[in-house]
């Protein structure tokens, strides 16, 4: 692990177009050799994008592997590059519609009242965290890594600008509620299948998907606004775009299921805008209602 992290540290010195193309090339190789993950990706794409031909879905799956691999190697820039370099590479678009260079992070809008930053699983989502961390403190859920050295690099990388609070699933919901009460923005990543507990089966690309209702429930309990933020690649390996959307009106409302359905519909619309950059290798439809058979068979 130390050798791998040392290699990653060396990579952050490369120009982004070089590093990005290296990551893309590795992703092309991984697409060929990681058959179980390739199979999961293709199952997801068949379920979500049936209007595409099998050849088109295969090409999209390959582009996803390239994008995901690229994002992993580019993470070295987030962990170790200078703040000035990150500022040059990250273009922010805010919901006021201003020009990217003048919009900036909407710090006031997300710190004057409790704010949930809805950040779906696009491959560049860590860039959004870095963009905010350079200007404001925030909090988020964190999966502790088994390797202590790697765990420290991840935590240090996320906390090297403004202070952050990182919670684990074992911490429960109380630390999140306290952070929101203190008007510390909370990154919410609710679009993965964590099983039936605290989840509702609502459509995602027309397929019932076990979806955490926590976004709606926490917003209702704290009065927090929900402000989506989506990060995608800029063209030609020039960096990343972080886009902040206007906080949702009248959210969550009285119906938590309908609020969760609304959230999935928003995420689906954003996925259609950059389909190769969504996290398709996850078994998004693993949990099935009423004992329905698995879509994934023996795929790991």
Model confidence pLDDT, tens digit, residues 69-125:
999 999 999 999 999 999 999 999 987 655 544 467 889 899 999 999 999 999 999
216: tokens are 């709606």
Q: How far out from the chain centre does Cα 94 lie?
A: 18
18: tokens are 């070089």
Going from the C-alpha of 88 to that of each of 48, 162, 285, the distances in angstroms are: 35, 18, 38
228: tokens are 């989506």
Confidence category of residue 269, pLDDT binned at 50, 70, 90? very high
pLDDT at 199 over 90: yes
111: tokens are 């710190």
Model confidence pLDDT, tens digit, residues 124-157:
999 999 999 999 999 998 888 888 888 888 888 8
Confidence category of residue 259, pLDDT binned at 50, 70, 90? very high
For residue 280, the SS3 value is: coil
Confidence category of residue 30, pLDDT binned at 50, 70, 90? very high
pLDDT at 98: 53
Q: CB–CB of 240/89 below 8 Å?
A: yes
Question: Distance between CA atoms of 160 and 162, rounded to whole angstroms?
Answer: 7
76: tokens are 């070295």
């Amino acid at each position: 692990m130390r050798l791998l992290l040392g290699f990653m540290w060396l990579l952050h010195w490369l120009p982004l177009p070089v590093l990005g193309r290296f990551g893309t090339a590795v992703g092309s190789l991984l697409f060929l050799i990681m058959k179980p993950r390739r199979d999961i990706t293709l199952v997801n794409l068949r379920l979500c994008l049936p209007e595409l031909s099998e050849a088109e879905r295969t090409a999209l799956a390959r582009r996803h592997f390239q994008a995901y691999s690229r994002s992993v190697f580019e993470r070295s820039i987030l962990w170790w590059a200078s703040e000035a370099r990150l500022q040059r590479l990250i273009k922010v678009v805010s919901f006021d519609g201003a020009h990217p260079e003048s919009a900036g992070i909407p710090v006031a809008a997300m710190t004057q009242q409790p704010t949930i930053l809805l950040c779906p699983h696009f491959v560049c989502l860590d860039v959004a965290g870095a963009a905010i961390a350079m200007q404001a403190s925030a909090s988020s859920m964190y999966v502790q890594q088994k390797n202590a050295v790697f765990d420290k690099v991840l935590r240090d990388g996320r906390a090297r600008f403004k202070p952050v609070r990182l919670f684990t699933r074992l911490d429960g919901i109380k630390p999140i509620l306290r952070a929101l009460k203190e008007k510390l923005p909370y990154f919410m990543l609710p679009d993965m299948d964590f099983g039936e507990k605290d989840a509702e089966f609502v459509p995602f690309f027309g397929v019932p998907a076990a979806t955490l209702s926590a976004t709606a429930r926490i917003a209702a309990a704290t009065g927090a606004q929900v402000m989506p933020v989506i990060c995608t690649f800029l063209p030609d390996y020039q960096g990343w775009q972080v886009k902040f959307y206007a906080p949702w009106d009248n959210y969550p409302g009285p119906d938590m299921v309908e609020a969760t359905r609304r959230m999935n519909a928003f995420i689906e619309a954003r996925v259609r805008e950059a389909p190769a950059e969504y996290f398709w290798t996850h078994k998004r439809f693993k949990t099935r209602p009423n004992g329905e058979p698995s879509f994934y068979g023996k795929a790991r």
